[in-house]
Homo-oligomer: A and B are copies of this chain.
Amino acid sequence: MQLPSVLLENAVAEFAKLPGIGKKTALRLVLHLLNKNEEEVKLFGDTIYTMRNSIKFCNRCFNISDGDICSICSNSMRNQQIICVVENIRDVIAIESTQQYNGVYHVLGGVISPLDGIGPDKLNINGLLSRVENDQVEEIVFALSPNIQGDTTIYYIQKKLQNTNCKITTIARGIAFGGELEYADEMTLAGSLQNRLPVQQYVNG
């Protein structure tokens, strides 16, 4: 795709660096901005730069925050004795939108993945361990993606926590709501058979 202007080409290249945005989509976005007036485009750039420049991470849970401690950690209505361990901020937002969880979070910033060069030292694991030690945490709920990397991370952290008497759980795995049994993979189906639950729990739940 030959573009008629170097300035246009640069802008398209910047957009095309974003995940899931190819050169054609980038061009569409750039031409959209070209039709906007100057102030709007300035606001667009400035808002994003200010966000990157001024945003903070919560000192306790590493969630995104406007201050030193995030709105969830500083909320006295939430149960500070239950910590949900997640991979990233997106997971916090996903769990918050269920409105079913009243504890606090701990954002690891990734999962252990030796193939990608991510060892335990690159994750916020020490922060979690010291929280468990100092804050009288009653339960750690792992909400990591159900795959090898997630399981490795759970195994690693669980080992580190074995001398505490903190309860360690993980979110349930099984057939997703609306999913079709016949299309479920064998591992998921086998696991959901093994961990079958009394129907009563669903009828009352």
Across the interface, do A41 and B34 meet the contact criterion of CB distance under 8 Å? no
A window 82-133: CB within 8 A of B: 88-90, 92-93, 96-97
Q: Is A32 within 8 A of B55, CB to CB? A: no
Within 8 A of B (CB), among A13-30: 13-15, 17-21, 25, 27-30
Majority-rule SS of A interface residues: helix
Q: Which chain B residues lie closer than 8 Å to A21 at the CB level?
A: 29
The residue that A51 contacts in the complex, of B7, B18, B55, with Cβ under 8 A, is: B7
- Which partner residue on chain B sits nearest A109 by CB separation? B35
Q: Are A66 and B6 also in contact (CB < 8 A) when A31-B88, A31-B89, A41-B49 are?
A: yes
Which B-chain residue is minimally distant from A13 (CB atoms)? B47
Q: Quick check: B14 and A36 within 8 Å, CB to CB?
A: no
Contact check, A41 vs B52: say whether CB atoms are below 8 A apart. Answer: yes
Whether, in the assembled complex, A76 has its beta carbon less than 8 Å from a beta carbon of chain B, the answer is no
A4-B72, A90-B27 known; A11+B48 contact, CB < 8 A? yes
Considering only CB atoms, which chain B residue lies closest to A18 in the complex?
Answer: B29
Question: In the complex, what distance in Å separates the CA atom of A40 from the CA atom of B65?
Answer: 22
Count identical subunits in the complex.
Answer: 2
Task: List chain B residues, Cβ under 8 A from A49.
Answer: 41-42, 45
Interface centre among A7, A50, A53, by most chain B C-beta atoms within 10 angstroms, is A7
Cβ contacts A to B, 25 pairs, < 8 Å: A1-B93, A1-B97, A2-B97, A3-B93, A4-B70, A5-B65, A5-B66, A7-B54, A7-B55, A10-B47, A14-B47, A14-B48, A15-B48, A18-B29, A18-B32, A19-B28, A19-B32, A27-B93, A31-B88, A31-B89, A34-B52, A34-B55, A34-B64, A41-B48, A41-B52
Taking beta carbons and an 8 Å cutoff, which residues of A are in contact with B? 1-8, 10-11, 13-15, 17-21, 25, 27-34, 36, 38, 41-55, 63-66, 70-72, 88-90, 92-93, 96-97
